[in-house]
Structure 1
C-alpha cells in the first residue's frame, strides 16, 4: 500500500468485485496495477432441499457495497479517484420480471420468498431438464463438449418453465449473475446477457454466418418463448449481432448505485464475466523471465480452488469432447475461448485428508506447529523421505494408485457418473499412511490435467505453458507434479489467491482505455502491462519423479477406462436378469 497520502490522491484507481459462492470481495488497484486494498463480505445462501441452492441479488448487492466501502476505508484513497468498476460472479441464474424489474422467486410455485431470486451455479435441480436438452442431439451441443451441463443456465430455465405457472414464467427475464449486478449498477432496463448468451445458446458462427441467440436451438429445447419479442427475456438482441466482449463499457453507475457503493456516478462500469474467466484474465498475463517464448494462445490458465477451470484462448475454433466452447470474441476479440475443469480439486484434497483415521492426530500436530494440514503433510512426507533414505518423495507412494473423480468427471470425459478408485489400500491407519494418500490425490490432480492438455492439443490447441492461480497454487508439491507430469513450465502469479478479483479490476481498467478512434485498448495489452510477476516451476526431466509419473499416467488411463467397462458389464448383467 502506498505510504504517501498525496500520491494516493493523485493516482487513478479501479475496482474489481468478485462475487463467489460464499462471499463478495472487492479489490482496489491503481493505474499501474498495484494492489492497494481488498475486503470481503459474506453472502447468504438458502438450501430448502438437498441439491437446491438459492441466493438473493438484493442481499448479494448489499454484500458487494459493504465490501467496496470497507476496501475504500482501508485504502485511504478518495472515492473521487476511482475511475471504473467491474463485477464478476459465479455462473448463477438471476430472475426478474421483465415489466416491473422485481425479483422473482427461484423456487417455482412452491416458493414464497421472492427475494430468493438466484439459482446458484451448483444447484442440481435440473438434471432431467439437462437430459432432455441433450437428447435433442442439436448441433449446438458441440459447443458444450457434446452435452450441456446441469450447472448451466438453460436447464435451470427449463426447470422453471416446468415448475412455475405459465403466467409467472412469461413475466420472467433471466440474467447471469454478473450481468444482473451490472444491470443493477448501471440502472439499465435491458442489458445483454453476455455469459448466458455466449455459453448457453449462442450460434458462435464458426462458418462465419449467424451470431446471436439461435432461435432454432431454443425451439428444440422447448424454450421458444425466450425467442419472442426480440429475445427480451434474455437480454434482448445483442449489440452488433453479438454479446459485448468483457472489458468494454456498459455505461456509468446510476445515482442510486453510486450512493450505495460510496462512489461517484461518473465511475465507468465494465462488462464483466463469470469468475473463472476473470481468473484467466488475472492469471494468463503474468510476467516472468522468458515470457516472449509463450504467446497468448500457448498459455492455459488453471484457476483452481475448491474446483478447477482450465481456460485457453485459441487462434482458431477447436472442438474437444468434454471441453466447453469454443466461444468466439467473448473475452478477447479475434480469439476463441475453450474451458475444461475438474469438479473437485481443493475439495478433493480436503475429503481425502479428513476421512482418514489419522486426520485428528495430524491436525492437532499441525495446529501445534502453526501449519495448515497440507503444509504439515508436505513436511511429514519430506521427513519420511529423509528417514528412509529414498531419493524422492514420489518413491514413498510408488505402489499407491489413486483415481479421484469422486464427484463425476467434467473434463476431458464429460461423464458425471464417474467415481473414484484405489489400488494399494492397506490397513495402515498411521499419519504416514495419511501422507501417502494425500500425495496420491496430488498425483491424480496432476495426471488429470495432463489428460486434459493432451486431449486439447491433439484436437488443435497449442498449449505449452500452464499459468496457475487459486488456493492450490500455494502447494509446492502439486506445482512440481503438474509441471513434470505435463512437461510444461508452471507460472504462479505472486498474488495467486486474488487472481479472480485482480482480473475483474483489469476488466475495469480496460473499459477506461479510450483510443483516438473511440475504441479501446485490447484487454490483452492491459493484461500484459498490469500482469503480476510470476514464479516459474520448471518440469523435471530424466528424474525418478518423471519416470514414476509416466508409468502412473498409464495406470491412470487404465483406471479411468476400466471403471466404465466394469459399469457396462454390471448394467448388462442387471438388464439381462430383469428383462
Structure 2
C-alpha cells in the first residue's frame, strides 16, 4: 500500500465565505455541485468534499487501529472503519457548510484488505488468530500468514497467474481465503462471503453487492470475460485446483457471482466510478447526506491516486503529452501517463489500450479503470520507509532533529540545505556531484519491481567512518538517488515492453522534497508533474469517482420528482481538446482562478525548485457555459416529475414516488460503460493545475554522471544475485 497520509483542510471556512461573496454578483452558486471522497488507508480513514471545479473545501481524518496478536497476523475491524468513515463524512459536510441536497456523488477507495462476513446476516466473522473476536473481521493487506497457501497456489502455474506478474503475492486475497478454509473452526468457512475492502464500502453505502474489477482483477485472480477465454470471470478450474471449490457454488455467489449481466440487464462488476446505486436511506441519514447522492464503483487506494493526478494540466509544454493529446480523444489520452503514488512504498500505475506484459510488473489488468483498457502496476516496496531508515539509524540523527527543529524546517529541507552548503564548501559542481563515488543500493526490504525478488537486500559502496551530520546528508542523498534510479529501471522495463510514458505524475508527501523530484526527473529523463493536492491526491481521486457516478447518472436522462435535472456544471467549461475558455471571474484575483490556496501544493523551497513552473489557475465557468440546473423548488423540464415533487422542509426526510423509484431502477438496469470517457472528462475538468519539474538537458554534466551511475546501479543488483547464487550452489553441494 502507499503509506500514511497527512491530515489537513484545504481551505478555511472564511476563505469559502470570501469566495461566496465574490461570486454572489454572478449568480453562479446554484450551478456548483459537490462530491464526497472517502479513502481508507492502513492507519486512518479520510474524507473530503469537493466542488464541481475540483476545489477541496474540507478534509477530515480519523485514525483506525490494527491488531497484531502474532507475527504476520494483522487484522482490522470493519465496524470501526465504517464508524471512522461516517465521522469523517459528517465532519466535512458540517465544516464545508454545503447543503446536503447539492452533494450528488460519493466515491470510495481503500487498501486491498479482505473483509469476511456471514452470508445472509452480513455479521462479522472472526478471521483469527483469536476466532472468538468477531470484531476483527478484516485480514489487512500486509498480513503474511498465508505463506504456505501462496506457495501452493503459485505451484499450479495456472493461466490466472499470468496476469499478476506470474505469481500471486502473499498480500493478495485468494491466499488469505485459502488460509481461512484451512483454519476457520466449526466449518465456518462454508458460511462466509468475501469482499475487498473498497467493495465492502460501496456495499455498505448502497446496499448493493456490486464488485469492482479493480479489486477482483488485481487482488483476487478474476479474469474479465474474454481474457484467456474467460466466460464467467472466475475460473472454476483454478479455484477447484487450489482447494477452494466451495467458492464456485451457485454461480460464485460468495465472490459476487460471475461476470455477466443479470436478467434485468444490470452489471454486477464495474470499472472505476461507474454508477452503483443511490445511497441506502438509512446510510444516507447516518452520513448526513441525501438519497439522491449516488455511489461510484470504488478502487484500490493507489488507483485512486492515478485518478486524482494524471489529468493535471500544465502551462509548461510537455511535447510528448501535447502530441498524445493531439492524436487521442477521451480516456485514450490517459494512456501512458504514469502515476507514482508515493508513501511508505510507491506504486507505479499506467494504462494502455492493449495488454502489455512486463516482467516484474503486475498485470496487465483489464477493465479496472476503464472498460477495455488495461493497467500495469509496478512498485517499490521501500521508499518513504527507506528515507526514514537511513535517517533514524545514523549516529547523527539526534543532531539532525535538533538542528531541523531549531531552524523550524523539516529534516529533509534541512538536509537539502546542508547539501547545498556542502557543495559550496567543497567546490563541487552540484549536489549530485557530491555523491559521485557513493554507490547506494537500497532494497532493504526486497524488490517488488522489476526484479520481483523478495530476497534482494541493500548494499553501499563508498562508506567511511565519518559519523557527522555531513555524512548523514550524503547517505540521504544516496538513498534519494537510489529511489530515482530504481524508478528509471521500472520505467525502462515498461518502455521496452511497449508502454509509451511521456511523464510521471507524482503524489504523496515525497513531492515536497525538491531534491528527490530533481533526481527523479534527471534519472528518468522525464518531466515530473506534481499535482495541486499532494497529500490529498488519493482522497481527491475518490471524490472524482463520486463525480463520475453522478455524471453518468445525469447523462442517462433520469428524472426525479426532486426536480433536479443533474447535468453537471463540469460540462461546457472546457472544449474536448483542452482549449480553455476565458472566465468572467478573472477580475477576482487569486480566487477568480478557481484554484484556491492549498497547503498541498508544491515542494518546499530548495535549489531544485527553480525548475518548477506552476500552471495558470483553473477558470470558473461563466454563466453561459453551463447547462441549466434546476433547484429543488418543484420545477422541472418535465411536467410529470414536477407534479410528484414532495420534498419536505427537513431536507433529508423527503418522500419519493414510485415513478422516481422506477426511474432509478431503469437507470441501474441500463448501466452501459462509455469506455471511461466520462471519467476522463471529470478528471480533466476537475484535477486542475500541476507543477512541472523538468529534467536537465541530456548533455548536462549531472545527467551524464547519473547515466554512468545507473549502469553501476544495474551491476550492483545483478552482482548481488550472482553472489547469492554462487554461495547457494556451494552450500547445496555441501
Which interval holds the TM-score relative to the shorter structure?
Answer: over 0.9
Give distance in 1, aligned partners of 2:269 and 2:706: 43
1:570 to 2:722 alignment: no
Partner residue of 2:179 out of 159, 163, 173:
159
1:308 match = 346
* 1:12-31 equivalences in 2 (<5 Å): 12-31=33-52
1:195 to 2:214 alignment: yes
1:224 match = 245
8 Å contact from structure 2 (residues 213, 367) kept in 1: no
Partner residue of 2:273 out of 243, 247, 265:
247
Give distance in 1, aligned partners of 2:285 and 2:534: 32
1:430 to 2:460 alignment: no
* 1:63-142 equivalences in 2 (<5 Å): 63-107=84-128, 110-142=130-162
8 Å contact from structure 1 (residues 87, 182) kept in 2: yes
8 Å contact from structure 1 (residues 105, 114) kept in 2: yes
Give distance in 2, aligned partners of 1:238 and 1:8: 42
After superposition, the Cα gap between the structure-2 partners of 1:192 and 1:22, relative to the gap in structure 1 and judged at 3 Å, is: same
Give distance in 2, aligned partners of 1:264 and 1:414: 46
Give distance in 1, aligned partners of 2:213 and 2:159: 21
* 1:499-510 equivalences in 2 (<5 Å): 499-510=537-548
1:468 match = 506
8 Å contact from structure 2 (residues 217, 368) kept in 1: yes
1:489 to 2:527 alignment: yes
Give distance in 2, aligned partners of 1:548 and 1:435: 19
Partner residue of 1:322 out of 360, 382, 407:
360
1:283 match = 309
Residues 70-121 of structure 1 show CA distances to partners (whole Å, capped at 9, x for unaligned) of 111221212222111111100001000112211001115x421101111111
Structure 1 residue 208, shift from structure 2 partner: 6.3
* 1:166-205 equivalences in 2 (<5 Å): 167-188=187-208, 190-192=209-211, 194-199=213-218, 200-204=220-224, 205=226
1:292 match = 322
1:544 match = 701
8 Å contact from structure 1 (residues 179, 194) kept in 2: no
8 Å contact from structure 1 (residues 318, 461) kept in 2: yes
Structure 1 residue 532, shift from structure 2 partner: 2.5
8 Å contact from structure 2 (residues 34, 49) kept in 1: yes
Partner residue of 2:555 out of 506, 515, 533:
515
Give distance in 2, aligned partners of 1:233 and 1:208: 22
Give distance in 1, aligned partners of 2:289 and 2:268: 31
Give distance in 2, aligned partners of 1:28 and 1:17: 9
Structure 1 residue 437, shift from structure 2 partner: 0.4
After superposition, the Cα gap between the structure-2 partners of 1:208 and 1:483, relative to the gap in structure 1 and judged at 3 Å, is: farther
Give distance in 2, aligned partners of 1:288 and 1:504: 22
Gaps of 5+ in 2: 1-10, 262-266, 325-332, 558-669
8 Å contact from structure 1 (residues 176, 195) kept in 2: no
Structure 1 residue 275, shift from structure 2 partner: 0.3
1:400 match = 438
1:534 match = 690
Return the index of the structure with the highest Cα Rg. Answer: 2
Runs of 4+ in 1 over 6 A off after TM superposition: none
8 Å contact from structure 1 (residues 192, 236) kept in 2: no
2:459 match = 421
Give distance in 2, aligned partners of 1:242 and 1:338: 23
Give distance in 2, aligned partners of 1:485 and 1:250: 42
Give distance in 2, aligned partners of 1:351 and 1:516: 52
Q: What is the aligned-residue RMSD (CA, Å)? A: 1.7
8 Å contact from structure 1 (residues 197, 212) kept in 2: no
Residues 495-550 of structure 1 show CA distances to partners (whole Å, capped at 9, x for unaligned) of 12111011101110000113257756521121111123111111112122111111
8 Å contact from structure 1 (residues 130, 150) kept in 2: yes
8 Å contact from structure 2 (residues 214, 367) kept in 1: no
What TM-score do the two structures reach when normalised by structure 1? 0.96
8 Å contact from structure 2 (residues 46, 85) kept in 1: yes
2:629 match = none
What TM-score do the two structures reach when normalised by structure 2? 0.76
8 Å contact from structure 2 (residues 93, 100) kept in 1: yes
Give distance in 1, aligned partners of 2:393 and 2:36: 40
Secondary structure of 1:121's counterpart equals: coil
Structure 1 residue 351, shift from structure 2 partner: 0.5
Partner residue of 1:410 out of 448, 466, 477:
448
Give distance in 1, aligned partners of 2:228 and 2:157: 19
8 Å contact from structure 2 (residues 212, 299) kept in 1: no
Secondary structure of 1:419's counterpart equals: coil
Residues 399-424 of structure 1 show CA distances to partners (whole Å, capped at 9, x for unaligned) of 11111111111101111111111111
Residues 420-452 of structure 1 show CA distances to partners (whole Å, capped at 9, x for unaligned) of 111111111000000000010001100111111
Structure 1 residue 180, shift from structure 2 partner: 0.7
1:37 match = 58
8 Å contact from structure 1 (residues 201, 218) kept in 2: no
1:555 to 2:593 alignment: no
